[in-house]
Amino acid sequence: MTGFLGPLDSPAARRSWLAGLRDSIPKATSKNDLLDRIDGALFVPAPQGDPATLEALGKRYRGQVDKAGDLHDRVNKVARKGLPEVWTGKTSVLAADGVAAAARAATDMAEAFDGGAKALYALADALGHAQRQDADGRARLEQAKRQLGPKEGFFDIVDRMIETDEEKQALVSARSAATEGVDLMHKAAVAADDAVRAATRDLNKWAAEARAGKLRTGGLSAVDRLMLADTSGKAGAAEYNEILTAGDLERSGRAMDRLPAADRARMDQLLAGAGSPQEKAYLMKALAAGHSVDDIETFGRKIHGKDPAWLQQHLSPIVTQGDSLKDEGVDAGSGANVNTDLQSFRGQQWAQGGDGREGTCVASSTVTARAMVDPVYALSLTGGPSGQENDPAAFRRRLVDEQHRVHTEGHGGANWDGMVLEGKTEVVNKEISPETGSAYELHEVKSADARRNVLPEIEKAVAEGRPVPIGVEGYEADGTRHGHAMMIIGQEGDKLEIYNPWGQTTWVSEDDFVNGGMAKASNSQLPDAYAVHLPQD
């Protein structure tokens, strides 16, 4: 097996192939032409997968929900007994906090099993329906073939230049049956493709949500791992603002295991001495971003004893509000989502040029993305060299200086005006990749099919905490192009969270991403996603 994929091996290719035939079969002008197109449709394999197996798997997942629920109830009982103020774990976790985290983890586990079961049931249902619809379509195509009879050879056609009324009628009737048939097959292919994508997206998401298990290091106790995975920033919804992403948990666990013994002891000491679970989580995030223990010690001194609100303000550029997913419609004038959140440090937005007046969207989205994945870098911008500053004006100067540095690094235009894709590839790889451990590769996605095809990779990347740079564009009637750079930073259900370097975030649907609805994240002159940079594993 070489791994070679035929032209119709992917659901997206089958969907696209059948879409072409759905358009061309009604226009077939001759018997042979129609027969060729019918054969082209029948050549496409039926939607693959066994609904019964999927349903059985869903049933097994559902069976685990009650077990996780029981576990939650038992842990809750312990919590209610009134735990003494004792410390546990290698990093000194308050026992009561550990038990509370365990209860939340049990709930998360139950939700993950339930979500996984729902995803599998939905896929089984959709696949079963699509297979039946596909079979109906094939039956009609076979019927059309029978009506037409065998293909005519060259001499048959020459011998009979004039088509009889009966033959014309037979062609019309067969074309009608074939049109219905290919339409059913296309609908089945679309339904199967969409169902597979939705299930992949949901299962990936639930897998990423199994957070405590990502932190695989022998050096930390189970309660340490639970607490680190459970810790969120103070503002915003806890489930959208976890400090350590799934990717951070994996990378920090690996980094802990690779540390020499002396460094390992220093790291343990740093964690044990941290003033809050948030402080501890940011230390681990710094480790995940690839910093040395020396750097983390310096960073640790700067943030030691700060309250969770200060830590979030200085170390997490983006806060996702609980109501940010609510659809409040679009602004009639600009086409942008009404429900949009500003992202600021003490009133100063994380915006290109500081106030949106410079064409450094590529550099600016890159700087913010790096600050999202690296708290040491974020603090250098917000808190300055000492890490203790709170001045938004000074933050603005440092932010803009950094945007200019990255703009220059990517050979951006004079007067801080624009950057082409080659430069963007260079800066995202120089600035973000070292922190996330994944190189970025450019994918041009100028068609709906191309955008649909990259969605699973986008979903997986952002679920693991790796931002995905996205280019959007729009054209005026005279051909004038407008291009803008943004960042996909989150995913929830069929929604993608977008950071726009105008200093704001909002959510768009995956359908918006695929079908030219990106204006919701900027304005109506920038509707189409045309390029994404995907992290490579």
Partner 1 sequence: MTSRTTRLAPAALLALLALTGCGTDDGTTGAPTPTVGSTSSVRATPSGGTEYGTERRDITVRPGERFSLTVPSAPTLGEHWYLADPRPDKAVLAHRGEHTTGDRSEADGSTGSTRSFDFTALARGRTTVRLLHCPLHTCTGPGPDDRSTLGPSPSGPPSPYPTLTADPHAHGAGAGYYVFTITVR
**Can you list the alpha helix ranges (DSSP code H) found in 214-354?**
222-230, 246-258, 261-273, 277-288, 293-303, 308-315
Would you say 321 and 341 are in contact if contact means Cβ atoms under 8 Å apart? Answer: yes
Name the residue nearer to partner 1 (CB basis): 239 or 331: 331
**Closer by beta carbon to partner 1, 301 or else 346:** 346
How far is Cα 341 from Cα 321, in angstroms, rounded to an integer?
8
Q: 366 vs 246, 320, 425, 468, CA distance in Å? A: 21, 19, 10, 10
Minimal distance in Å, beta carbon 275 to partner 1?
A: 26
The answer to whether 512 and 495 have CB atoms below 8 angstroms apart is: no
Q: Rounded to the nearest whole angstrom, what is the least distance from the CB of residue 321 to partner 1 in the complex?
A: 5
- Our CB check for partner 1 shows the closer of 217 and 504 to be 504
Shortest Cβ 504–partner 1 spacing (Å)? 7
CB of 385 to partner 1, least distance (A): 20
Pairing of strands 440-444, 468-475: unpaired
Cβ-based neighbours of 534, under 8 Å, separated by 6 or more:
440, 441, 443, 454, 457, 458, 461, 468
Nearer to partner 1, 200 or 344 (CB): 344
Closest CB to partner 1 among 33 and 331? 331
How far apart CA 67 and CA 218 sit, in angstroms, is 27
CB of 435: closest distance to partner 1 in angstroms?
22
Cβ of residue 485: shortest distance to partner 1, in angstroms?
A: 5
Query: What number of other Cβ atoms are within 10 A of residue 30's Cβ?
Result: 12
Chain Cα centroid distance, residue 448: 17
* Smallest distance from partner 1 to CB 99, Å: 32
Shortest approach of partner 1 to residue 238 CB, angstroms? Answer: 16
Closer of 514 and 529 to partner 1 (Cβ): 529
CB atoms within 10 A of CB 360: 27
Q: Which is nearer to partner 1, 131 or 324 (CB)?
A: 324
Q: How many CB atoms lie within 10 A of CB 295?
A: 14
Residue 41 or 362: the one with the smaller Cβ distance to partner 1 is 362
SS3 534: strand
In 10 A of CB 521, how many CB atoms? 30
Binding site for partner 1 (CB under 8 A): 235, 321, 323-324, 331-334, 336-342, 344, 346-349, 351-362, 392-393, 396, 412-413, 417-421, 424, 471, 473-474, 476-485, 500, 502-504, 522-523, 525-526
Q: Which two tokens stand for residue 87?
A: 């410390």
Closer by beta carbon to partner 1, 59 or else 411? 411
Least distance in angstroms from the C-beta of 319 to partner 1: 8
Whether the CB-CB separation of 88 and 225 falls below 8 Å is answered with: no
Can you tell me the distance from the alpha carbon of 533 to that of 537, in angstroms, rounded to the nearest whole number?
A: 13
